[in-house]
Structure 1
Amino acid sequence: MTSRRVVFVVGSGRSGTSTMAGTLRTLGLHVPQPEVVADATNPKGFGEPRWVVDLHTELLARSNVQVSDGRPRAWLDTGTTSGDHATRERVTTWLEEQLEVGAELVIKDPRASWFLGLWRAAADRCDATSSYVTMLRPVTEVVGSKQTYYGQMGAGSDQGAITRTAAWINMMLHTERATRGQQRAFVRYGDLLDDWTQPVFALGEKFDLNGVKTAMAVDIAEVHRFIDPSLRRVTMTWADIGVPDRLRELADETWQALDQLATDDTAKTQEWCDQLRVAYSAQYAEAEAFAHSTVVAQRRTAAAAARREAAERRGGSGAERIPHAVRAMVPPAARQRLRKAIGRERRPDQGPA
């Protein structure tokens, strides 16, 4: 019986995950169909199963977590959501169906890192070996690419850059922790573009992927056509991205630790990642404390808006429920005194009642 294998391509979006998934697919691994359709942000395709993307989108919504979420506690929320029996059975059933189509699967979705425990358990139930490829790309290029292709966030470009930089740190450090102790590899996006044969064939040996190890010349030629060095269309530095010094320093050190994992996945480097994860959580908690007044104000504003909407759904004020023809019979002076009494006095720029 052919051994079953599931390769999960994980890491932050815009890190080369689509290029890796597309390469493995071209060499013979099966991407469950249908796939997400290519668009201007990724013209060569995403390599993402539509079912997987829809599932993750649903689970993130139930968890109140964003795809790029900077909150350390978001991992607890997604873990709770994906831990119910019905969800586990649902994923296991789908994965079993896909493994009947192809014994070696590649599953890629930037949202997948939030639910690796769910997928690992499903693969175990299907008697399949799980492997993880984490794509590495400098944080400035990732954030710059997201700014370019996904637009700005918040009040301005700096706010968007800060949010995305924090989310990158959170995503990458927790992905490292979630895959620790598993069959895994870290691949630099730059290495993939420079000479894809070296990292990809190394993966084939490390993960014992029959599709990669027995690739035909025609498949290799197809990958050469698929991978275009110009895919690295965004190359930004901190000079192009405005973030606070402390966050930039933490992001830089996180990149250094992850980059080292590509060639030195040892306990010492993993401990470095643990220290960075603790430092990030502390820095995020401090930022939350600074912003507490803003959060409280936003909650009050949202609560007031909800009360207004509830009043409108109940039919509005008593005056608004009185037919216009009847209200028109009330003298203007009396209407003005009545509005003033109930706190609904019209401004000078408003029209007549």
Structure 2
Amino acid sequence: MSERRIVYVVGSGRSGTSTMAGTLRTLGLHVPQPEVVADATNPKGFGEPRWVVDLHAELLARSNVQVSDARPRAWLDTGTTSGDHAVRERVTAWLEEQFAVADELVIKDPRAAWFLGLWRAGADRCGATSSYVTMLRPVTEVVGSKQTYYGQMGAGSDQGAVTRTAAWINMMLHTERATRGQQRAFVRYGDLLDDWTQPVFALGEAFDLAGVKTAMAVDIAEVHRFIDPSLRRVTMTWDDIGVPARLRELADETWQVLDALAADDTAELQETCDQLRAAYAEQYADAEAFAHSTVVAQRRTAAAEARREAGEQSPGGRSGADRVPHAVRAMVPPAARQKLRRAMGRERPA
């Protein structure tokens, strides 16, 4: 097998992806430089290559998809973008530059799940083996952490929680589908904090990672200092997060099957994921149907605002000429006014 290896750390943001990427980096895998700078939301660092984050931001904008997008059809849009030949060439060229530095890479960005086909193709072109670590954390903790560190979405806390819960279901179920049949593992964030050596060294064996399997005592001690159980700063429950009952049920069922996959990645559990993905798509379609009138109203409002900014006439309103005082209009000779009306397409009938 190829000595070139890429470990993609995937899953929802605020699920321990940064902790996993930082651990693998400390044990010898290479995080392409420069990295996103640490901040108050992630004081020990993100473990995210700046180039990767910038690329994903560009591709998401091109696809009209958000980082945490709840729409099932968003995967079709990003899939189309992932198939772009020029984009694949960019990724392949960048990966070749990174392999000139090290043979084992770890690439982490919560946006990466939208473009796993793109990254798999790039790795294949470089003759590298791809592996996937999906980090798992209870949905209420993920949503609670996002509410705490990223602020509210919309007018109220319930709306933010609903959107983020739906986006978590969408992200996690499609990530499971996108990594199916590949070299992969599911790791609980809680297990990583309790005793990181067990899940990480298991990954080293399963993915044949030389950096992990040959880690020195000094590296292991450094990981012990890096991983701090207090990093799990938000531990909310459904009592703290208000979402509709059916969405809560789907989220709970999704968490249960993903949690089971961490112990045994079976075909039966994968089939359950397929069923949940279909149920979620149906639930989302119902929600879209209920909200259709609101969407149409918002579009009308946006269109009216755009017309006002452009100085155009709005339906039932007055044009720019009509807003000119009558005394001023009367100063323009009739023949000239008629020519102006003809030029503007507002000529009066004879």
TM-score (norm 2): 0.90
* Distance of 2:261 and 2:173 partners within structure 1: 12
Residue pair 1:254, 1:273 contacting (<8 A) in 2 also = yes
When residues 269 and 106 of structure 1 are mapped into structure 2, their CA distance, relative to the original with a 3 A threshold, is same
Give me the CA root mean square deviation.
2.0
Work out whether 1:176 is the aligned partner of 2:176.
yes
Once the two structures are TM-superposed, the CA of residue 246 in structure 1 deviates from its matched residue by 0.5
Q: How does 1:157-176 map to 2 (within 5 A)?
A: 157-176=157-176
**Secondary structure at 1:155 match in 2:** coil
Partner residue of 1:351? none
Structure 1: state its 5+ residue gaps.
331-353
Once the two structures are TM-superposed, the CA of residue 13 in structure 1 deviates from its matched residue by 0.0
* Distance of 2:70 and 2:321 partners within structure 1: 46
Once the two structures are TM-superposed, the CA of residue 167 in structure 1 deviates from its matched residue by 0.1
Q: How does 1:78-89 map to 2 (within 5 A)?
A: 78-89=78-89
Partner residue of 1:317? 320
* Distance of 1:265 and 1:279 partners within structure 2: 21
Residue pair 1:5, 1:130 contacting (<8 A) in 2 also = yes
Once the two structures are TM-superposed, the CA of residue 306 in structure 1 deviates from its matched residue by 1.8
Residue pair 2:2, 2:128 contacting (<8 A) in 1 also = no
Deviation string, structure 1 residues 132-191 (Cα, Å, up to 9, x no partner): 000000000000000000001111000000000000000000000000000000000000
Q: How does 1:111-260 map to 2 (within 5 A)?
A: 111-260=111-260
Write out the 4+ residue segments of structure 1 that deviate beyond 6 Å after TM superposition: 319-322
* Distance of 2:142 and 2:249 partners within structure 1: 16
* Distance of 2:322 and 2:291 partners within structure 1: 41
Work out whether 1:16 is the aligned partner of 2:16.
yes
Once the two structures are TM-superposed, the CA of residue 305 in structure 1 deviates from its matched residue by 1.6
* Distance of 2:202 and 2:63 partners within structure 1: 37
Once the two structures are TM-superposed, the CA of residue 2 in structure 1 deviates from its matched residue by 7.0
* Distance of 2:310 and 2:281 partners within structure 1: 38
Partner residue of 1:344? none
* Distance of 1:78 and 1:293 partners within structure 2: 27
* Distance of 1:2 and 1:95 partners within structure 2: 15
Work out whether 1:62 is the aligned partner of 2:58.
no
Partner residue of 2:106? 106
* Distance of 2:121 and 2:86 partners within structure 1: 13
Once the two structures are TM-superposed, the CA of residue 311 in structure 1 deviates from its matched residue by 2.4
Partner residue of 2:307? 307
* Distance of 2:154 and 2:297 partners within structure 1: 17
Once the two structures are TM-superposed, the CA of residue 321 in structure 1 deviates from its matched residue by 9.2
* Distance of 1:5 and 1:311 partners within structure 2: 58
Residue type of the partner of 2:283?
A: Q
* Distance of 2:50 and 2:177 partners within structure 1: 27
Work out whether 1:75 is the aligned partner of 2:49.
no
Once the two structures are TM-superposed, the CA of residue 21 in structure 1 deviates from its matched residue by 0.1
* Distance of 1:308 and 1:161 partners within structure 2: 34
* Distance of 1:206 and 1:321 partners within structure 2: 77
Residue pair 2:201, 2:212 contacting (<8 A) in 1 also = yes
Q: How does 1:257-336 map to 2 (within 5 A)?
A: 257-311=257-311, 317-318=320-321
Equivalenced residues, count: 325
* Distance of 2:30 and 2:245 partners within structure 1: 44
Residue pair 1:14, 1:145 contacting (<8 A) in 2 also = yes
Residue type of the partner of 1:111?
A: R
* Distance of 1:84 and 1:66 partners within structure 2: 19
Structure 2: state its 5+ residue gaps.
313-318, 332-350
**Secondary structure at 2:110 match in 1:** coil
* Distance of 1:95 and 1:203 partners within structure 2: 22
Partner residue of 1:340? none
Residue pair 2:7, 2:133 contacting (<8 A) in 1 also = yes
Partner residue of 1:50? 50
**Secondary structure at 2:158 match in 1:** helix
* Distance of 1:232 and 1:321 partners within structure 2: 64
Deviation string, structure 1 residues 63-95 (Cα, Å, up to 9, x no partner): 110000000000000011121111110111001
* Distance of 2:298 and 2:93 partners within structure 1: 42
**Secondary structure at 1:111 match in 2:** helix
* Distance of 1:303 and 1:319 partners within structure 2: 21
TM-score (norm 1): 0.89
* Distance of 2:282 and 2:110 partners within structure 1: 25
Residue pair 1:2, 1:103 contacting (<8 A) in 2 also = no
